[in-house]
Structures are given as C-alpha cells and as structure tokens.
Amino acid sequence: MTPDDRKYAKSHEWIKVEGDLAVVGITDHAQESLGDITFIDPPSVGDAKQQGEDVAVIESVKAASDIYAPVSGVVAEVNVDLEDAPERVNEDPYGVGWIYKLKDFDASQLDGLLDAAGYEATLGEG
C-alpha cells in the first residue's frame, strides 16, 4: 500500500515533509523491483541537489540504480543505519528504510509530484 502522507516521483522516490526537513526514500515498488538490496551509496551531508539530479546509488543482487532528488534542496542528514543494514529498505521502505533528508528544499516543487493514487496509476503503465 502506498502511503497517502507523502508525494512521489515517477522515478520511484517518495518525499515526506517533516517540519523543516523533507525525508526521501524509494517506494515499495522500487525495492521489490530491485530485489535484495546489498549496498547504498548515500549523498554527502551539505551537498546541494537540484530536482531530478542523481543523489545516491542503491545496489542490489540484480542491479545498481540511481536515486534522484524529487525536489531541490541541501542534504541535511543520511540514514547511517543503512551502512550496516541496507536490507532495511527492503523491509520497511516507508519507515526505517528512508535514505536521506533535505533542508532548505523547494516546497513549490512538491506540487509537481504525484500523490499516492497518481503514483499507483503510473505503475500500471507499460
């Protein structure tokens, strides 16, 4: 089930605003497609990222994939727990499997992202 409390990019990232920060991770669909996640190369704290820019790399037994910034902002925090336990993304992609947090993000760009129903609809497309 895709949570309603966040926005989604067609590239399978989710973003959830929590106060002054925006938490970013990948969707359940993305983690299922990747299979068992073995490594995450997170962004560096302090990196300024533009919407659509690649931010991190996630590796699985099947492939390596880029993770893109759903909105522009500055990396405020990374989920260091994923260094030793990248499988948390498989187990709980919308909870403990978050990947990084942005500060000073462009909230106006959230309007261009999909809601849960809109994201689910894209999954049915070829």
| Tens digit of pLDDT at every position of the chain (126 positions) | 799 999 999 999 999 999 999 999 999 999 999 999 999 999 999 999 999 999 999 999 999 999 999 999 999 999 999 999 999 999 999 999 999 999 999 999 999 999 999 999 999 864
Domain that holds residue 15: 7-120
**pLDDT at 49 (0 to 100):** 97
Tell me, what amino acid is at 56?
Answer: A
Phi-psi region of 16 (alpha: psi -120 to 50; beta: other; left: phi over 0): beta
29 within a domain of the structure (yes/no): yes
User: Look-up: residue for tokens 């820019």?
Assistant: 53
- 50-82 tens-digit pLDDT: 999 999 999 999 999 999 999 999 999 999 999
Q: What pTM value is reported for the model?
A: 0.95
CA distance 75 to 28: 22
126 within a domain of the structure (yes/no): no
Question: Domain tally for the chain?
Answer: 1
Question: Which domain CATH number covers 48?
Answer: 2.40.50.100
